[in-house]
Amino acid sequence: MNAMKINVVESVLKANDAVAAENRRRMTAAGVLAVNVMSAPGSGKTLLLERTIPRLSPERCAVLVGDLQTTRDAERLGGATPLVTQINTGTGCHLTAPQVTAGLDSLALDGVRYLFIENVGNMVCPAGFDLGEHRRVALLSVTEGDDKVAKYPTLFQVADAVLLTKVDLLGVLDGYRRERVYEDISRINSRAAVFEVAARTGQGLDPWLAWLRAQRGA
């Protein structure tokens, strides 16, 4: 039996990337800066946004938040801005561009200047999927340890900014070597802006907010 070989050479990600490009075009046209926020579960993405949005101005911020289950993050973020849509991915460990399109359809973007896309907590899968964002931000909490940049390099390689979070807890972490995180970032992505923040206390939020505002002008 003869099989015929057909050379295809077509990206499997093409469908996702085409939708992502359309999302980006749509948000750019609406004057919205879209920021894809990625990290492991529990690194502090939601609290960071809860503290960031009031400082930027609530009516100018919207959030799409991805989780496998529950609307808990959307309920929390609803205290910061009414423009929140929860995307439940079921079993999906990352958001995809079509899910973001559906999320955008659910939000009134008039007057919105910042759209935060809080990705599903995961340090591997989200890094591979363009959602149509303009900037990618990776969080790493100090309680996760000082070795995670080296262990999950791809997430940090694609990041425009890295936020070292929960730095108010450094005092209780024996043997945590902050310089190790910086060394690893300098080897993987020296272009990334790095911020140390503690959303709980407000420590370090100003430089992060300044960076966000600068990205709108950039």
Partner 1 sequence: MHEFTLATALVDQLLRIAAEHGATGVTRVEVRCGVLQQVEPESLRFAFDALVRETVARGAELRIVPEPVAARCRACGRGFAPRIDDYVCPDCGRADTEVTAGRDVVLQSVELLRADGTAP
Per-residue mark of binding to partner 1, 123-152 (x: CB under 8 A): -xx-xxx--------------------x--
User: How many angstroms from the chain centroid is the CA of residue 156?
Assistant: 11
Measured N-to-C along each axis, helices 97-105 and 14-29 cross at an angle, to the nearest 10 degrees, of 30
The residue among 143 and 157 lying less far from partner 1, judged by its C-beta, is 157
Of 58, 157, 193, 211, the residue at the interface with partner 1 (CB under 8 A) is 157
Least distance between partner 1 and beta carbon 175 (Å):
22
Handedness of CA 151, 11, 133, 109 (dihedral sign): negative
Contact window for partner 1 (CB under 8 A) among 53-61, 76-84, 186-194, 197-205: 186-194
Contacts of 108 (CB under 8 A, 6+ apart): 83
List 67's β-bridge partners, or say none: 88
Subset of residues 2 to 61 that bind partner 1, contact rule: CB under 8 A: 2-16
Contact 91, 68 (CB under 8 A): yes
Structure tokens, 135: 């900037």
Of 1, 29, 108, 172, the residue at the interface with partner 1 (CB under 8 A) is 1
User: Would you tell me which residues interact with partner 1 (CB under 8 A)?
Assistant: 1-16, 91-94, 96, 124-125, 127-129, 150, 153-154, 157, 186-191
